[in-house]
Homo-oligomer: A and B are copies of this chain.
Amino acid sequence: MKAAILKQLGPLEPFHLVDLPTRSPGAGEVSIKVRATSINVVDTKIRAGMGDIAPAGDIVLGCDVAGIIEAVGPGVTRFAIGDEVYGCAGGVKGRDGAYREQMITDARLLAKKPTSCTFEQAAALPLVSITAWEALVDRAQVKPGETVLVHGGTGGVGHIGVQLAKALGAIVHTTVSSDEKAQLAKKLGADVTINYRARQVVQYAAEETNGRGYDVVFDTVGSDNIAASLEALAVNGRCVSIVSLHTSPDLSALHMKNARLDLVLMLIPMLTGEGLERHGFILENVARLVDAGRIQPLLDDRVYSLDELILAHDHLASGAAIGKIAVRVS
């Protein structure tokens, strides 16, 4: 079975295509014939050197997978051979990644893939959809009629964030960097688009909310943007960020607004083994939203193959991609 491995971690480490032995699924596991995966920022960060959460040995990265069940281990009742599934199901410590033709994973992490999607589209969804769900549904608990600011509305997590906030009944504002991306964000359902290069956060937060600030800010950008997100909040607001390592924003705005900051690391169930079934549950709901046309995955024009992973990673790092970058595996 063909797999793309890293021999060690490092920002410039190449992938090596090798032949790995196949194995059978254990209790609670399934074997997936991998049809597609997609690139997430966390894959590039782990590759660059996050040894604490990286798989060991011949390192096979890749969190997201879409494929076909080809074997079912003892105790698995939710899936049968031939089922088309998707999930954020590996690529971290103790779990096989998806950069391979056959992947063994815990069945609880999977759901049946949306029927209206290609495998490439389905593989683009799991990590970003679960992240957006945990941020907007579980943490911020967005209510209909609330005004939600999603940073980076055409990015990987952002484009799902815009659509999910809309599905929750929110008035959705989103930041973009160009008129082209503004058009795209509008198509995804954004009510208001904000070119963050043209206005500072304090300015647009005041102008676009009649001085109230946002009920919820979903920060998908991180670094200096967290401080900006806190400034954009309304009194009693909630900020959710997914990017905050080595970031030390001044908390004064959060305090004076009696507000909340949630940090979402959606890898936690995979890393701890607790709460795996919640991810399968979320993806079942996401599949229904996708098939109902309420959420659509946004794929960058270029789809890569398993021997072009380095190009796919570089493309993500370039910042030029729109939406998700998919990789066709078989």
Contact = CB atoms under 8 A, between A and B. Distances in A.
A235 interface: yes
Nearest to A245: B252
Interface stretch (A149-157, A263-271, A309-317): A263-271
Interface string A8-30: 00000000000000000000000
A143 interface: no
A318 B174 CA distance: 48
Interface residues of A, number: 31
A250 interface: yes
A247 B256 contact: no
Contacts of A73: none
A117 interface: no
Number of identical monomers bound together in the oligomeric complex: 2
Interface in A234-273: 235-236, 241, 243-252, 254-266, 268, 272
Interface of A: 139, 226, 235-236, 241, 243-252, 254-266, 268, 272, 274
B254 A264 contact: no
A265 B251 CA distance: 12
Given A235-B272, A272-B235, A258 B264 contact: yes
Contact of A251 (B236, B247, B268, B274): B247
A261 B238 CA distance: 10
Contacts of A250: 246-248
Name which of A139, A255, A260 has the most chain B CB atoms within 10 A of its CB.
Answer: A255
A268 B260 CA distance: 14
A300 B169 CA distance: 51
Contact of A249 (B245, B248, B256, B264): B248
A246 B266 CA distance: 30
List 3 tightest A-B contacts by C-beta distance, closest first.
A244-B251, A258-B265, A258-B268
B260 A139 contact: yes
A258 B258 CA distance: 21
Given A260-B260, A260-B262, A263-B259, A251 B248 contact: yes
